[in-house]
Amino acid sequence: MIKEEKRFDFIYVDGSHKCNDCYSDMLLSWQLLNKGGIMAIDDYLWVGNGDGDTPLKAVNHFLERYKKDVKLLHKGYRVFIEKTR
């Protein structure tokens, strides 16, 4: 989809619960998201087996890395962000 220059106004990220997988999904999805588009990330507060390898770390890192490009709309079990630039 990236090669085909597809773009979307809404993307829902819900896949693997592993930190690195979740982060990769967010990075790839971000490239497909239009400015002003909304990205929803599921399972932010999922605790898994207690080893810490969860979406929470991935989402927090993503939000910090892209803080100038993101408007946080909601942070609960799901996180909703808007791409601002």
Residues 24-78: tens digit of each pLDDT: 999 999 999 999 999 999 999 998 888 889 999 999 999 999 999 999 999 999 9
Question: What is the per-residue pLDDT for 49?
Answer: 83
- How many structural domains compose the chain? 1
In angstroms, the CA 61 to CA 58 distance is 5
pLDDT, position 43: 95
> Would residue 3 count as lying in a domain?
no
Beta pairing, strands 33-41 & 70-75: unpaired
Task: Show the CA angle centred on residue 50, arms to residues 20 and 44, nearest 5°.
Answer: 55
Quick check: is 29 in a domain? yes
CA distance 22 to 9: 20
Residue 30 is predicted with a pLDDT of 97
62 lies in some domain = yes
* Least confident span in 5-9, 15-19, 76-80: 15-19
3-state SS class at 24:
helix
What residue numbers bound the domain in which 23 lies? 8-83
